[in-house]
Structure 1
Amino acid sequence: MASNETKLKTASVLAFERKLDPSDALFSAGKWDDRENYQQWSGVPIREKSVRGTISNRLKAKDQDPARLDAQIENPNLQTVDVATLPHEADTLAVHFTLRVLAGAGHPSACNESAYQEKLLETITEYVSTHGFGELAHRYAQNLANARFLWRNRIGAEAVEVVVSQVREGAAEQQWTFNALDYSLRTFEGDAKTQELGQAIESALSGNSYLLLDVVAFARVGAGQEVFPSQELILERSRGDKSKTLYSIGDAHIAAIHSQKLGNALRTVDTWYPSLDDGRDLGPIAVEPYGSVTTQGAAYRQPRDKMDFYNLLDNWLLKDKVPPIEQQHFVMATLIRGGVFGDAG
């Protein structure tokens, strides 16, 4: 085996498939007391709404003259946007998706350096035999239990319930029900039920069992209230286009959340990034090679700190500098996330 730094080099082609594979999540609406029959609930449609807004953006210095401002306000800010709301006879949103958990974490789907792949697999095997996937699997389980994947739909809900079913041959083999508001979004303490669900996820990641989870979350937000599916990214807009386009599925335009957004919520388990200089505690962030949080425009695993995925992986494989256990968890979580990590050419 080539383990010497002078003999071993990072593969220029190195890719990993994601091992947590969610579907898109569909929205439907009904009554809280009728949750058992949610499969008969009607989907939440996306519809257009035109509104007459006012000028509210920050003005340039030349536009702050009272006459100029009055002239601008005389011109209405007309917008057409997509919106999704519950019907007025329904007070509860149901969000339904499935999640496949796959084996082979850390095994590359493409690698053009056999010596590097041999060392990588040896390192992964040692990690699994020493630590296993228990810590990561339990954190993924808690992100199902706490309904983090609801994103904005979780905020202000009177009650949130998550039902997770282990599906085999089309039928629920085992089921867990969680009161999501009992589980923190900032810590990963969990309980006996999240530990049990975590063990099922760990077994699947380890390749010991097949796991398909059916997940449905119920959020009691109030009759007629607005709900929040994914927003589409429109790269090129022309004048008169809608200013907000929501994601929908099918001819009925049923509101939905992108699978990528669900995956981001499930992998929000990284509490091991370096402490911030200003002493803030962000809580967990999504597992990303550089600890990127796009909503804050910041990366919390800077290469200068040697705590990003690439520095940790290279030190571990090429220089035999074993990272602390928390950073080993981060590296493995990044490999479970999947991606293309080859050496820059």
Structure 2
Amino acid sequence: MSKNLEIPSVLACERKLDPSDAIFHAGHWNDREDASRWAPIPIRSKCLRGTISNRLKTKDQDPAKLDADIEKPNLQTVDVATLPTNADTLRVQFTLRVLAGAGTPSVCNKVEYQKKLVQTVQIYREKEGFTELAKRYAANLANGRFLWRNRIGAENVQVKVALLKDGEPEQSRFFDALSLDLRKLDSINDDAVQSLGTVIADGLTGNKRHVLLQVTAFARVGAGQEVFPSQELVLNNDKSKNKNKVKQGKTLYAVAGVAAIHSQKIGNALRTIDTWYEDADEWGPIAVEPYGAVTTRSMAHRQPKRKLDFYTLLDNWLLNGKEPSVEQQHYVMAVLIRGGVFGEAESKKTSDEASDDAS
């Protein structure tokens, strides 16, 4: 039957790790247990008169014109977020829903393919129970990877993960984030990490009907120090010919005026568990992506020519009966947990509609 399966033109899966935006507050390290002592961190603007620092084209340029370009001030407005001068600690808080049903398509136009996919995931779930993946997701919560740049240079970082029931913390776990290695996700023997991994695995397998975690991280970075919410992507649609207009150099993300990190960036940090690709010893864990893309390095670590990309592994598994190694099975399941649009779209309209359903 497998060889007669057709790849669906429309195939989409919903994400099963669903984080909220992460909101920034400021306070004192010793007030971590007193929620009333923490104030929202606003976004504010600075107008700067900087210098030109980017590489200029110098070949065949008029020296006088080149000198004028270099000497011209670089005027720009940038958004910033900082701790107050009377607060030394950043608090970052978000919630995370863990859902069952990984690998069950939300949209699929080939019934037999869907049956085979669901059956394959079921066999994996019965054999592995999502234990390895859940442990790695737990490790990325415990080590504070989701803090991104805010983790760097911090004196102390504590992460609190609470399992919520009826809106109240039922069980809380505390982690010293800086004591956990960001690169060694497969060798963490911390009992609290293992316990948190069990909770996440129960949510992914459906053993626990409702898993909602509240994650609170405290980073002691110093009074008045700059903190780093997400930066917005601003397309250059300004067609104004006013050369003297001060340009917006950096726009930061805020929720109701409070500095925050995009939920997508939180999700990227949590799924940075892929150490099963070639050259992983050199580069360390990367975010789970169909082609192993890392945009900050302009690299794709799972190019199709290496036969380790998601689509090659999935097609060999479902269509050709070639079961991947256990490590690559973990990777395929992690992509399904990530969710997305995986079909061969017949048209752009079809692809867009499927993408909306999978969001």
**TM-score for both structures, normalised by structure 1:** 0.95
Query: In structure 1, how many angstroms separate the alpha carbons of the residues matched to 2:225 and 2:307?
Result: 46
Q: Deviations over 1:219-260 (max 9, x none)?
A: 00000000000000111342534111000111xx11000000
Number of the residue aligned with 2:241: none
Q: SS at 2:121's partner residue?
A: helix
The 3 A distance-change label for structure 1 pair 237 and 220 is farther
Partner letter of residue 273 of structure 2?
A: V
Query: Does residue 174 of the first structure (1) align with residue 171 of the second (2)?
Result: yes
**Aligned-partner residue type, residue 69 of structure 2:** Q
**In the alignment, is residue 140 of structure 1 matched against residue 137 of structure 2?**
yes
Structure 2 CA distance, aligned partners of 1:198 and 1:63?
Answer: 61
Count of matched residue positions in the alignment of Structure 1 and Structure 2: 337
> Helix, strand or coil: the match of 1:273?
coil
Distance 1:259 1:39, change over 3 A: farther
1: distance between equivalents of 2:71 and 2:170? 63
Q: Shift in Å at residue 66 of structure 1?
A: 5.4
Match of 1:208 in 2: 207
Q: 1:9-60, CA deviations, whole angstroms, 9 ceiling, x for partnerless residues?
A: 1111111000000000000000111111134411111000011101111121
Aligned-pair Cα RMSD in Å: 1.4
| 2:324 corresponding residue in structure 1 | 323
TM superposition shift of 1:151: 0.2
Q: Is the 8 A contact 2:75 2:246 kept in 1?
A: no
- The 3-state SS of whatever aligns with 2:105 is coil
Q: Which runs of 5+ in 2 are unaligned?
A: 239-244, 347-359
Question: Is residue 292 from structure 1 mapped to residue 293 from structure 2 by the alignment?
Answer: yes
| Alpha-carbon displacement from aligned partner over 1:242-289 (angstroms, at most 9, x marks no partner) | 111000111xx110000000000000000001237xxx6110000000
Structure 2 match to 1:88: 85
- State percent identity of aligned pairs: 63
> Is the Cα–Cα contact under 8 Å of residues 30 and 38 in structure 1 kept in the other structure?
no
Whole-angstrom CA distance in 1 between matches of 2:36 and 2:283: 37
CA spacing shift, 1:128–1:203, aligned 2, 3 Å: same
Match of 1:270 in 2: 274
Equivalent residue for 1:52? 49
1: CA distance, partners of 2:116 / 2:17: 24
Residues 175 and 333 of structure 1: CA distance in aligned 2, closer, same or farther (over 3 Å): same
Q: Which runs of structure 1 show a deviation greater than 3 angstroms over 4 or more consecutive aligned residues?
A: 62-70
Aligned to 1:112: 109
Which amino acid letter does the alignment assign opposite residue 136 of structure 2? R
Query: In the TM superposition, what is the alpha-carbon distance from 1:292 to its structure 2 partner?
Result: 0.2
Q: Which residue of 1 aligns with 2:352?
A: none
Instruction: State the match for 1:246 in structure 2.
Output: 252
- 2:257 is the alignment partner of 1:260: no
CA shift, 1:105, in A, is 0.8
**Shift of residue 130 of structure 1?**
1.1
In structure 1, C-alpha distance between the alignment counterparts of 2:222 and 2:318, rounded to whole Å: 53
Q: Which runs of 5+ in 1 are unaligned?
A: none
Alpha-carbon offset, residue 122 of structure 1: 1.1
2:284 maps to amino acid? G
Please report how far the alpha carbon of residue 69 of structure 1 lies from its aligned counterpart in structure 2 after TM superposition: 4.2
CA-to-aligned-CA distance 1:107-143 (integer Å, 9 cap, x gap):
1111111111111111111111111100000000000
**Alpha-carbon distance in structure 2 between the residues aligned to 1:63 and 1:93:** 50
> What CA distance in whole angstroms lies between the structure 2 residues aligned with 1:65 and 1:179?
57
